[in-house]
Amino acid sequence: MQQRAAELLPVEYFHVVFTLPEQLSALALQNKRVIYGLLFRAASQTLLEIAADPRRLGAAIGFLAVLHTWGQTLQHHPHLHCVIPGGGLSLDRSRWVSCRKGFFLPVKVLSRLFRGKFVAYLRAANQQGRLTFHGQSKHLGEANHFADLLDKVSKLEWVVYAKPPFGGPVQVLKYLARYTHRVAISNQRLISLSDGQVTFRWKDYADGNAVKEMTLDVREFTRRFLLHILPRGFVRIRHYGFLANSCRSERLDCCRKLLAHSANQSAYFEQANIGPHQYEADQESELCPVCREGRMKILKTLEPKAIALTASFIRARAADTS
């Protein structure tokens, strides 16, 4: 988090999500490393290409991308979250190019190019023999059936969703602290395990974000959870553009000079009220664990030694009072 705080720029930040259509879900599960890799490749190249277009932003941007493969009910739902500063370096690196306030890039244009790139990469991967087909997807091993699948998904409108922009660097830091390393389901959402049934909470986005409960057989719950285990060594958080590992330090220095801003890591932490070892927890963890309705606010985190001293103080006060 300290490293991410040092990379923040004093500009508006945007959140763009790229989602694969459900028609590719079964194929993705059997070819996780290949398909998820293509998802990163197609989404990142789409953003970099559209942003560099003089008709759009005309700038070299930088961003962070995080892979998530689950929905609220643990079903397979591969999508990529991208956190992007609102602007970039001019192509000759002589100035900072800002996007319009509240608007980054046209979603429909992103969607069409993303779809075209992913389908092209998927076709090439199949021609190179990098894909495997089993079970209900075994028929895709035949050229005509695979071509039919590509034709079908090419006619769909692929979902690229631009969420409301972050308020600024502080909000980005808080988002990253609670969201980037999340697993398929947090402990706070689990309600009970009884008679071979698991009950958990989920948020129904189609019903105004209403919080509901779902009960699944242990086998089905476990099956859904295991869908989201990534291949060994697969990197699910990646950086691109001027935030790429190979040039991040040099390009960020350039960005700061052009923005007439000197990065101050501690200032970001102070504004966000987040210390190097005290990050904001998932929003659900703020619920009262008893009533599950009231909100709890952490006033202070005590180390073991401090807890022991506090307990001793309370016992001493109690003795004095008695």
Candidate from 28-42, 86-100, 237-251, 276-290 with smallest mean pLDDT? 276-290
More confident residue, 280 or 174: 174
Over residues 59-72, the mean pLDDT reads 94
For 123-137, letters b (16+ CB in 10 Å) and e give eebbeeeebebeeeb
Cβ proximity of 46 and 110 under 8 Å: yes
If DSSP states are collapsed to H, E and C, what string results for 258-276?
HCCCCCCHHHHHHHHCCEC
Distance (Å, whole) CA 82 – CA 171: 14
pLDDT in tens, 82-105: 999 999 999 899 999 999 888 999
- Give the tokens for residue 170: 């502080």
Closest CA to 39 of 15, 66, 64, 73: 66
Over residues 253-264, the mean pLDDT reads 76
pLDDT surpasses 80 at 270: no
Average pLDDT of the chain is 85
pLDDT surpasses 50 at 9: yes
pLDDT in tens, 107-124: 999 999 999 999 999 999
More confident residue, 165 or 238: 238
